[in-house]
Structure formats: structure tokens, C-alpha cells
Amino acid sequence: MERVTCAAPLHVPRPHGPWPAVREDLFRHGNALVCTTWSEWLPSVLTTPRLRELLGDDWQRYRRTRDAAVRYRFAASRMLIKYTAAAALAVPPEYLDLAYRLGGRPYLRGFDQIELSLSHTGDVMAVGLSRIGRIGVDVEPAERPVRLDLLETQVFTPAEARELAELPEGERTAHALRLWTLKEAYSKALGQGLRFGFKEFGFRQGRLSAPDGSRVTRDEWGFATYPVMDRFLLSVACHNAGLSTAGDTSVGTMLDQGFLSAMTDTGQQ
């Protein structure tokens, strides 16, 4: 199996795009990664007459949220998910139905081969989308203060701790934060979040490893970390489940056929 390539993040500052690169990355790599800030999307949240249609089942949660900043961030993140998926599927975003699995992982009803992952911190939002397998993303401030002693005892494997100790002191915090975000991204891809023991797996030379540093997978997983929005790190974990690699991600191809038939039958009644 060819090693999975994680697409580089694309900055999309507004709902109008630019979006063509999302479809290009899905065609080339099987996955796409979008980042932006909620303040860039805030004007659209405040002015679009279609907000209720865009939020769908999330509209009531949006209305119940009392804190305005939290409410607008929530709306912006859901709009980002829908517009990203809409760019991949070539449908209007309000046609997509966003739902949640146990643990809060978002998915699109009726699209059985599209995987989604959302991460946000401060002003930054990131969405990962894959058509070939699981995907997880995590974004953190690049200058986030970390307690290396706590990470070494509670998060890092013995092999990671040894590698960290061998680095120059000025490089340790950045390396530790990269490992932390990679672990977050991988656990999100598996749907485990913080329930997954981070000392049970590690990373070495960009590959998944056992606590002793030995390699544990072939090439079905790909991992990458990117600097984004000047002062943040974005890590992504991408899985190749051996699904169809057809480049066509239009709605007629990607929509679950049973769901499509139900929609067709409903439209004829």
C-alpha cells in the first residue's frame, strides 16, 4: 500500500472560498484540510439570511446558547464543516445534514464514505475531510506553555521521552507540542479523544510507534504537522481503509444509495 499523504492546510477566509483546491486535494490525496478563523466567518454568520437552513438540526442548540461569543463560534464552525463538505460533494451546503456520533464526532447523514474531523482553539478553526478512511485534526497555539515534566510522565512513551531529552533545550517545547497534537489528532481519528491512553502509542520519524519506539503499522496511516495562521500548529492523522479511490466526489457518487432512494421516493409522493 502506498503511504498516505496528508494534504497541506488550505486557508479559506470566507464561505465563498476559494474552494477548488479542496476538490483537488481530495482527488490527489483522498483527504483535504481547511483552516480559518471564526472572526473571518463571523460577518457571514451575522448577515446570512440562510443561517437556520445552514445549521439545520443545530439551530436549536445555537438559539439556546446564551453567551454570544460561544454562540457565534459554534455557528461559524458548523458553517465551515458544511461549506467544506459541500465543496467536496458539489452540493449547496444547506442540503447537507450534520449529525454526531457518541462522543460528539460529526458526520454527514447519507454519505457513508466521507469522514470529518473538527478542531478549534482561540480564534482558529480547522476541518479535515477524507474519502478513503478515518481522519483526525488538532490545532494548538504554537507558543502554548507546556509542562515537560508532566508530559514525560503522563503523555509520552519511554522512547519519546528519551528522544526529547536528547534534543537541545531550546527545541524541546516545540517538539513536545508537535507530539501532543499528533496524539490528539490520532485519537480523534479513532473516535477515542482523551479516553485513549497517550502513553500506549508514540511517534517516531513521522510514523506510529509502540512505547519502545518500534514501528507498529505499515503505510495505512499518514501523519503531518503544519504551522498555520502565523502562530498555531495543526496536526493531522489520515487513514487509508482501502476504500474506493475514485476521484469523483459529487453527490451522485458519494451519497449512500439507500438514502438516495429514500429521498427520491419522498420527492415522488
The pLDDT tens digits of the residues spanning 115-157 come to 999 999 999 999 999 999 999 999 999 988 888 888 888 899 9
Q: Does domain 134-239 have CATH number 3.90.470.20?
A: yes
**pLDDT, position 206:** 83
Which of 3.30.300.20, 3.50.50.60, 3.90.470.20, 3.40.50.720 is the CATH number of 8-131+241-269?
A: 3.90.470.20
**pLDDT, position 262:** 42
The CA distance from 238 to 1, in Å, is 14
**pLDDT, position 258:** 46
The pLDDT tens digits of the residues spanning 238-250 come to 999 886 555 555 5
| Buried/exposed code over 56-77 (b: 16+ C-beta within 10 A; e: otherwise) | bebeeebeeeeeeeebbbbbbb
**pLDDT, position 268:** 44
Spans of all domains in the chain: 8-131+241-269, 134-239
**pLDDT, position 1:** 55
Place of cell 519519546: 160
- Give, for 172, the enclosing helix (H) or strand (E): helix 169-189
Cell of 98: 450534520
- Domain 8-131+241-269 identical in fold to domain 134-239: yes
User: Which residues 6+ apart lie within 8 Å of 83 measured at CB?
Assistant: 12, 15, 19, 93
The CA distance from 50 to 45, in Å, is 9
**pLDDT, position 265:** 47
Low-confidence ranges of the chain (pLDDT < 70): 1-2, 193-196, 243-269
